[in-house]
């Protein structure tokens, strides 16, 4: 009986852990854009941990810089792991260009490279897993025009130069206005910095410079948080329509108070899970099925916030 039970347990675990990954332990280093308190990275880590638990023979090292715009630190962290004991590197590049040289060095050492969330120039990496950010930006444009009407003045608050994910969604937003709301005037399209504090300071300056705004698109969690605080400080929260990317307790509270009109929400847990899965496949030389895996974002509004589908996405 005991032997039968052991066979059943082994069969079950092999069902979860594919044959090619059994045996040797794999050391995978995951370098997010930052190890800040942003909900986005915490949920991405949850997805990684789920994959690590399922595969069973993965040692995960998770290390990121303090903020999303600290490219020098991210490069230093990366270079520290260009070592023989590292089998694969999963990275979210803070800069699509400046990370290319150090990542190429890692690849030349035989370390497998997976890129997640934010694009990297060149083709050193095996595959790319991210939100379809351009179409997500168009969703933001649609939501903002839906709530403010197809007249008025809007601005885009980006984060840092060459952050592929956030620039792609800003470009999608502008594309939507250009093709669907020609009477909406884009009065500013600025880089506000990679932390909530920097975004708030930039938001205050932009609100002072453009006192007659109708709507704002902020490209990620830090930008939305900073702009929301700036709108509250100046008494404009809920008056100037704000649409942004990502979710967090702060942003969801703003949505419930109608200070935020819409959040374009991603699936960082799935990105983290697929990042680890791709790394294990790369280590085992499993052929790539899909070089670019793009996950569609969802528009969350005060009206659909409590639906089961949205709740499952927000609280995986």
Contact footprint for ligand BDR (CB under 6 A)? 33, 38, 40, 68, 117-118, 165-166, 220-222, 245-246, 266
Distance in angstroms (rounded) separating the CA atoms of residues 90 and 33: 11
Alpha-carbon distance values, 134 to 173, 264, 272, 303 (Å): 8, 12, 20, 24
| Beta carbons within 8 Å of 35's beta carbon, 6+ residues apart | 41, 62, 63, 64, 65, 66
Distance in angstroms (rounded) separating the CA atoms of residues 2 and 8: 10
Q: Which is nearer to ligand BDR, 21 or 220 (CB)?
A: 220
Q: Which is nearer to ligand BDR, 86 or 224 (CB)?
A: 224
Minimal CB distance residue for ligand BDR: 220
SS3 310: helix
Q: Which is nearer to ligand BDR, 222 or 276 (CB)?
A: 222
Q: Which is nearer to ligand BDR, 58 or 255 (CB)?
A: 255
**CB of 221: closest distance to ligand BDR in angstroms?**
5
**CB of 222: closest distance to ligand BDR in angstroms?**
6
Q: Which is nearer to ligand BDR, 252 or 283 (CB)?
A: 252
**CB of 18: closest distance to ligand BDR in angstroms?**
28
Q: Which is nearer to ligand BDR, 38 or 60 (CB)?
A: 38
| Beta carbons within 8 Å of 186's beta carbon, 6+ residues apart | 154, 155, 156, 174, 177
Alpha-carbon distance values, 201 to 58, 151, 160, 224 (Å): 42, 27, 14, 12
**CB of 259: closest distance to ligand BDR in angstroms?**
19
Transcribe 222-275 into DSSP letters: HHHHHHHHHHHHTT-BTTBEEEEE---HHHHHHHHTTSS-EEEE--HHHHHHHH
**CB of 262: closest distance to ligand BDR in angstroms?**
15
Distance in angstroms (rounded) separating the CA atoms of residues 199 and 195: 6
**CB of 244: closest distance to ligand BDR in angstroms?**
9
């Amino acid at each position: 009986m005991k032997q039968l039970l052991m066979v059943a347990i082994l069969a079950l675990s092999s069902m979860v852990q594919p044959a090619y990954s059994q045996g040797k332990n794999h050391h995978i280093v995951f370098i997010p854009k930052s190890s800040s308190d942003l909900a986005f990275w915490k949920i991405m880590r949850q997805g990684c941990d789920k994959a690590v638990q399922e595969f069973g023979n993965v040692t995960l090292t998770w290390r990121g810089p303090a903020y999303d715009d600290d490219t020098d630190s991210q490069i230093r962290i990366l270079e520290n792991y260009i070592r023989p004991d590292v089998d694969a590197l999963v990275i979210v590049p803070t800069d699509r260009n400046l990370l290319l040289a150090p990542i190429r060095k890692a690849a030349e050492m035989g370390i497998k490279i997976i890129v997640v969330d934010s694009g990297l120039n060149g083709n050193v990496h095996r595959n790319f897993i991210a939100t379809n950010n351009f179409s997500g930006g168009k969703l933001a444009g649609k939501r903002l025009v839906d709530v403010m009407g197809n007249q008025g003045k809007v601005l885009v608050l980006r984060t840092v130069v060459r952050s592929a994910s956030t620039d792609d969604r800003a470009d999608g937003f502008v594309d939507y206005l250009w093709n669907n709301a020609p009477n909406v005037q884009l009065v500013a399209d600025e880089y506000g910095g990679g932390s909530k504090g920097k975004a708030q300071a930039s938001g205050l300056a932009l609100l002072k410079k453009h006192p007659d705004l109708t709507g704002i698109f902020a490209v990620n969690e830090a930008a939305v948080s900073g702009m929301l605080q700036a709108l509250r400080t100046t008494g404009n929260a809920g008056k100037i329509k704000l649409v942004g990317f990502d979710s967090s307790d702060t942003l969801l509270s703003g949505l419930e108070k109608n200070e935020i009109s819409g959040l374009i929400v991603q699936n960082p847990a799935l990105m983290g899970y697929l990042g680890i899965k791709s790394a294990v496949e790369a280590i085992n030389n499993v052929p790539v099925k899909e070089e670019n895996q793009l996950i569609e974002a969802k528009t969350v509004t005060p009206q659909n916030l409590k639906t089961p589908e949205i709740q499952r996405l927000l609280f995986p």
